[in-house]
Amino acid sequence: MTQTAEQQAMARLIIDILNIDDVAPEEIDPDAIMFDDSGLGLDSIDALEIAVAIAEEYNVHISAEDEATKDIFATLGNLTAHVMNESRGLQPAP
C-alpha cells in the first residue's frame, strides 16, 4: 500500500477533521474500506464532516444525489480520485 501525495494529503485531512490522533496518515491503506467495523469504523456523520472539510479545502461539493456517493467514500483511494477529478481545472479554495 503506497500512497500518492494526494492520497496522503486527503488522509491528513480525514485524521485532522475526525480527531483520530492515534492513526498516522500513511497508515491508511488507500484500498481499505473506511466505513465499516474492521477499518476506521467511520459513519455517516463522519462523511458529513469530511464533505464539509473537502468543500473548504478543495472547493468540491459532495452530494448524495450522486449515485456513487457510497463508492466515493468507500476508500481513501476512491475519495481522493473523485475529489481530484472534480477539482481539476479549479483553483483550490482560498
Partner 1 sequence: MNTIPLVPRQAQEAFARRGDQVITVGEFCADVQAVADQLPPCRHLVNLCQDRYLFTATFFAAISRGQTNLLPAKRDPADIISLADRYPQTIIVSEQNVDRGHRITLEPGQQGTQSSPEADPGRIAAIAFTSGSTGEPQAHPKSWQMLDTWRRIHLAHLPDSSRPQGVVATVPSWHMYGLEWAMLLPTLAPVTLFCGADFYPQDVMQAVAGLGLPTLLITTPVHLRALVKSSSVPDNINTVMSATAPLANDLVQQTESLFQADLLEIYGCSEIGSLAYRYPRSNEHWHFFDAFEISSDQGELVVDHPLLLQPVMLADAFSRHGKNSYQLLGRATDLIKVAGKRESLAHLNNILLSIPGIEDGVIYQPDHLGLGKSERLAALAVAPDLDAGRIRRELAQRVQTAFIPRPIQLVDKLPRDSTSKLKHHALRALVRGLAET
Count of residues of this chain found to bind partner 1 when the rule CB under 8 A is applied: 26
Please, which residue, 6 or 27, has the CB nearer to partner 1? 27
Cell of 11: 488522509
Q: How far apart are CA 58 and CA 86, in angstroms?
A: 9
Under the binding rule (CB under 8 A), the answer on residue 22 touching partner 1 is yes
- Number of helices (H) and strands (E), helices first, in the chain? 4, 0
| Of the candidate residues 10, 14, 42, 72, the single one contacting partner 1 (CB under 8 A) | 42
Q: What beta strand segments (E) does 26-85 contain?
A: none
| Of the candidate residues 1, 16, 41, 71, the single one contacting partner 1 (CB under 8 A) | 41
